[in-house]
Structure 1
């Protein structure tokens, strides 16, 4: 399955190395054009100022749940793919209106397939 690679994707991950790997994977599989945010505050500002087709969020950022980022994505109607270590789901007080959860450790195929599923479910964003 091949998707058009003009999807704008916001990646929220506080670990720079993992964030870069996720962005590289998104580019390699031609899922879209990723933008990396290393903090929830930055992520929320990016969501206010730009349009995204999908978000990929680590649930825990420096020990704190990404509730504000999920709230911001929900307000814009953007689907969210959450990366969970299994024990961090209970930390969330907000859940995506449209989204999925992938359990870590996840393979590239697990993440890619979940992103493609979410993108195929959503109507194309108007330019």
Structure 2
């Protein structure tokens, strides 16, 4: 069980095995990735940063987001292996992914979080 200060819920990471990657699929959204994260991921894929950005990201103002691909009735992160329901870059996943479900947004949107994550315990 994972607990974070200033959050009134906890997270049972064992639930991930049963959830089928709901946090990586669904409605379209943004998966923000920093320059350092892009460098690490691109290096692991043996790509230069320019090619990585072209193949795997979209630019939004000054930020970059990982691309999404059509999946079932919505979208999936481009790095989700849709067969195994596992992240292909798990050890290098962006901070946004690493900190889920402990986002400030969910402090005031608990019903939405309940629908999205079976591992959350209130």
What TM-score does the superposition give when structure 2 sets the normalisation length?
A: 0.26
Higher RCO, 1 or 2 (CA under 8 Å, sep at least 6)?
2
